[in-house]
Structures are given as C-alpha cells and as structure tokens.
Structure 1
Amino acid sequence: MPESTTTEASTGTQPETNISAAMRDTVGTELSRQVSYPVSESDIRRWAIAVYWPEEPPAAFLDAKVAAGGVHNGIVAPEEFNPFAWAVAERRAANPDAVIDTNDPDNVEIALGIPGPGLRFQLNGGMETWYGVRMRPDDVITSVCRLGSYSERAGRLGLMLFSRTEDTWTNQNGELVKKTVNTLIRY
C-alpha cells in the first residue's frame, strides 16, 4: 500500500492511509517520563478526603493504626490517587522543544518530532485502566508514556485514525502500580 499523509480535505479524495512510514517507525517510542516526589501519608489523606467528600473517607486511608490492622498492613492510597497532581520531581519529553497545543490533532506526532497526518478533528476514543500494587507512603512513582499503536478504520466521515498511548506507572521497586491506555480518534 503506498504511503500517504495527504488528507481528504486537501485533495477531495479518500487517502489510502494516514499512517506514514515515520509514524509507523515511532510505535513504542517514549513520549514522556515523569517521576513523583515521595508519596506522603498527608498526600494520601488529602486525596481520600477530596474523593470521598462529602462522605467521610474510610479510616484505613486516614488512621495508620486502623490501616495497620487491615488487609494492606498499613496506609495505602486509593487506586485513583495521582502522585503527579500537585508537583512533579522530574519531567522529560521526547521532544522538549515541541510547542504542544492540546487542540491540535497532530499533537502526538509533534511530541515525537515527526510530521502528522494533518487531520482536522479529534475525539476521545476511551480509556482502559489496570491496577497493580497499591501506592504507599514513601513510594516514588515513575510514569512512562509511550505511543502504543496506530490503526485505521473507514467511517461515515472518511478514514479514521486511531492512536493509542500507554501510560505505565511503576514504583521504586519496579512493580506495576497502574497502566492506562488512551485512544485518540482522528479524522
């Protein structure tokens, strides 16, 4: 199949593919990496209070003595806890000089420093999340976001491009904490 990044909008015809060789070559490439500050009991308490509001959070998120007798043998963070919500200790991007506009459908390719397909519209295609070990006080979490895959499908409005990014969180011991796969649909 010939390579093409020409879009329907510019030619009035349906492209054979929106996935260029450069795009295909970047599958699996790291888009960004973040490292958190150490998680504190106070961070966990504040998060639990916020997410359970206006109800009282479970004592296992607030009281170290209660948590010590629980299933996790100590305070653990709620699974949806985000150690990057307040500040990030270290942040790296694949293309640090890239000017990122979240409304630009070519954002993924801009972040990688390659030409995008030039499609005009984008929408959230969904998110899947898997959880591993729970976050605990003093954990340092590393987030690595990679380009997972590209695929295409014909739709009413033309050829749609599906881009999947995989964000994997691990703790300082290399244990999986959380993996999220986001799908972006462009056309």
Structure 2
Amino acid sequence: MEQGTLVNDEMRAALGDEIDWRTSYPVDASDLRRWSIAVHYPEAPPRRFLNAEHYGGLVAPDEFNPFAWQVARRRRPVVVPKARDTDRPEKVHGIRGPGLRHQVAGGIEATYGESIRVGDVVTSRTRLVAYVEKQGRLGPMLLTTTEDRWTNQDGAFVRLLRETSIRYDA
C-alpha cells in the first residue's frame, strides 16, 4: 500500500464528527471515596477526597471516571464492532475503515478543568479529530486521534482526553 492511501473519502468527511457520547449517573459520595482509597492504596488518600466538611464538599481525584461502573445514557453506534476491532473508530460511525490488522496505543494527554463533585452528572462527547499517515519500519501506519470532552450538568468543562492510536499492517 503506498503512502497517502489509508484514509478514504468517508474517513476524511468524518473528521470533526462526534462518534460517541455518554452521560453518567449522578456522582455519589461513596463513588468518590472508594475511588480515592483505591488509587492511593496502600497509602491513605488526601483528606480532601474523604472529608466534605473542610473543603466545601467532596471532590474527585483528577483521574476519577464516572463511567467506570455504569452509564446512564449512551449513543448507540451504527455498528457495534468487537472491542479489539482496529476499524472501531470508523465502524461506530457507520463508515468503512482502512482495514489494517494491528493497533497499538500511541499516547494520551489529559487537560483538567472543574473538579467532579458529589451530584455532578458528566457528559462525554468523543470526536474523531485527526488522521496522519506515516511510513514506519513495518510499512504504512495510520495515526488516529480522538478527543473526548467532558462537561458537567452546568456545561462547565471537566476534562479533555486526546488519544492517539497507531494502526499498521505487518
């Protein structure tokens, strides 16, 4: 396969489109306490994650995921691909992917805004933002970047996750 042929017209047209969304149940104090205890184990978590009285209410650690256990509402994809399907970003959107056989994580970066608090309902919206084709040691590679933007029930920015995956044939 020659350079510049991995991204088809449907994929180019989908750039910027929302490919997934989900809404959490209201965050519970027990969720925040358990998550804090788990991520700090075997040490005790900082008191601000356990004691609401002194900090204006419980706040979640930055890494808290309100979608970890259950999702209240979610977009139903056009096609439900297998979890390890390398064409997953395209298939959930109902378009044809590049058909590459292998995929590895290419990196993640997070930007944090408002802390998640008890009672917050978080909405996640994931968009397909970039395709970059490169030539690797094993042949053509496709770097695919998605952005997952979280907001709370007031529309305040909570978190932005940019994830890149690397797909290739070997």
TM-score, length-normalised on structure 1?
A: 0.85
Q: 2:61 maps to what in 1? A: 78
Q: Is the 8 A contact 1:77 1:135 kept in 2?
A: yes
Tell me the SS of whatever aligns to 2:37.
Answer: helix
Q: 2:47 maps to what in 1? A: 59
1:28–1:16 CA distance, 2 compared to 1 (3 A): closer
The CA distance in 1 between the partners of 2:3 and 2:59, in whole Å, is: 50
Q: 1:116 maps to what in 2? A: 97
Query: Aligned AA for 1:122?
Result: Q
After superposition, the C-alpha distances for 1:112-143 in whole angstroms (9 at most, x for unaligned) are 11111111111110101100010111111000
Q: Is the 8 A contact 1:31 1:93 kept in 2?
A: no
Q: Is the 8 A contact 2:3 2:133 kept in 1?
A: no
Q: Is the 8 A contact 1:122 1:186 kept in 2?
A: yes
The CA distance in 2 between the partners of 1:183 and 1:62, in whole Å, is: 34
Gapped regions of structure 1 (runs ≥ 5): 1-7, 9-13, 68-72
Structural RMSD (CA):
1.3
Identical-residue share of aligned pairs (%)? 50
The CA distance in 2 between the partners of 1:83 and 1:16, in whole Å, is: 39
Gapped regions of structure 2 (runs ≥ 5): none
1:1-187 to structure 2, matched below 5 A, reads 8=1, 14-67=2-55, 73-95=56-78, 98-187=79-168
- How far is the alpha carbon of 1:16 from its aligned partner? 3.7
The CA distance in 1 between the partners of 2:3 and 2:150, in whole Å, is: 37
Tell me the SS of whatever aligns to 2:11.
Answer: helix
Q: Which has the higher helix share?
A: 1
- How far is the alpha carbon of 1:45 from its aligned partner? 0.8
TM-score, length-normalised on structure 2?
A: 0.93
The CA distance in 2 between the partners of 1:61 and 1:92, in whole Å, is: 31
After superposition, the C-alpha distances for 1:95-119 in whole angstroms (9 at most, x for unaligned) are 2xx1311222111111111111111
Larger Rg: 1
Q: Is the 8 A contact 2:4 2:133 kept in 1?
A: no
1:32–1:142 CA distance, 2 compared to 1 (3 A): same
- How far is the alpha carbon of 1:15 from its aligned partner? 5.0
The more displaced of 151-160 and 122-131 is 151-160
